[in-house]
Amino acid sequence: MGLPAATAFGFDRAGQPAALYVLQNARGLRAAVATHGATLVSLWAPGRDGAFADVTLGFDDVAGYESADNDWFGCTVGRYANRIRGARFVLDGTAYDLTANDGPNHLHGGGAGAFANVAWRAAAFARSGERGVVFTHRSPGGAEGFPGTLDVEVTYTLTDRNELRIEYRATSHRPTVVNLTNHAYWNLAGAGRGDVLGHVLTLFASRMTPIDDALLPTGEIAAVAGTPFDFTAPRRLGERIPPWDFPGHGYDHNFVLGGAPGELRPAAHLVDPQSGRSLTVHTTQPGLQLYSGNFLRGQRGKGGVAYPRRSALCLEAQHFPDSPNQPAFPSTTLRPGEIYQHTTVHAFGVEQEGARR
């Protein structure tokens, strides 16, 4: 098989052309990734009946990703995924003020300089059993308030084992903080095909970080046993979902993964009992953000399909939110001469009827 070819994906506001790369493996699984935001646009996976469905939310061209309807669909999030309290942190005695784009707080890297909003360079590759794209971006010092020029590389690889592997690498010429993830929204029944409250979820996490009304961690690390956050055994997502008046308005919480950070280990297993499609996430990151699509609002995505509230969920492998202001959390500091790197693997499968109900 030859190199994945680039096709036109429209022009961004700056007039730069965006490109889309379609990766296909020997078993028919397909993933499409775009240069705008180093974004996962679609993922076509088979169900129990052999039919393929696109299981992630997105748009048909770059204009959708630049619109107010985009809730970070499928993008690479950075420089810092999730929230930083007060849009401010102190590093080595110096305070840095960031873009405040979530009330008084910083969210997902900020505004125009956030990695979701920039054009990335792309290089496609093909090797035995694997096809992929390497995206690169240089974020200048001071972008969105972060210190240090950051050179970032994000590699998407689709394998013949029905795995989508995402590898992240970054270096900085000055001390800074970094927390990268992918913000894919998953509906294993197919994007726009009902809600995900009946999906069955397992999380390999016995602890989580509680949040306050601003959706920021309190600094506590709490056990999940006996709470609605206990997914250590398979449970339907909607079985005990927190009510709208609860912080997060449902699930929007970071879970502390078991095992040793830095080692690739299981983080989550998700099944749609109707189609049989399954997704298993492995990561080297210390945390996983579960978000139950609480603020989706019926915006129109690919093919004009509506994405209503809780019609998809996110499983974001990450460092903990607000880590620069929480000394008890694993550090997100990156210094000159060091390499930030981590890997997340999404493995797609099919389970027989009645499995994991």
Per-residue pLDDT of 83-135, as tens digits, reads 999 999 999 999 999 999 999 999 999 999 999 999 999 999 999 999 999 99
Cβ atoms of 124 and 132 within 8 Å: the answer is: yes
Average confidence score pLDDT of the chain: 96
Q: What pTM was computed for the model?
A: 0.96
Beta bridge partners of 19: 8
Looking up tokens 């603020």 gives 295
CB 129 within 8 A of CB 204: no
- How far apart are alpha carbons 19 and 114 in whole angstroms? 19
List pLDDT tens digits, range 298-352.
Answer: 999 999 999 999 999 999 999 999 999 999 999 999 999 999 999 999 999 999 8
- Cα separation, 158 vs 31, whole angstroms: 7
* Residue 122: how many other CB atoms lie within 10 Å: 19
User: So what's the pLDDT on residue 189?
Assistant: 98
* Helix runs in 37-167, H state only: 62-65
CA dist 109 and 153 (Å) reads 16
The pLDDT assigned to 139 comes to 98
Which amino acids are annotated catalytic? Answer: 183, 316
Of the candidates 242, 250, 215, the residue with the CA atom closest to the CA atom of residue 322:
215
Domain ranges of the chain: 6-350
With vertex at residue 153, the alpha carbon angle to CA 326 and CA 343, rounded to the nearest 5 degrees, is 60
Q: Decide if 21 contacts 5 (C-beta within 8 A).
A: yes
- How does DSSP classify residue 93? T
* Integer Cα distance of 189 and 272 in angstroms: 6
Please tell me the predicted confidence (pLDDT) of residue 245. Answer: 84
Chain center to CA of 179 = 11
Task: Write out pLDDT tens, residues 242-295.
Answer: 988 888 899 999 999 999 999 999 999 999 999 999 999 999 999 999 999 999
Non-local CB neighbours of 333 within 8 Å, separated by 6+ positions:
91, 175, 176, 177, 324
CA 233 to chain centre: 23
Which class does domain 6-350 fall in?
A: mainly beta
As a whole-number percent, the residues of the chain with pLDDT over 90 amount to 95
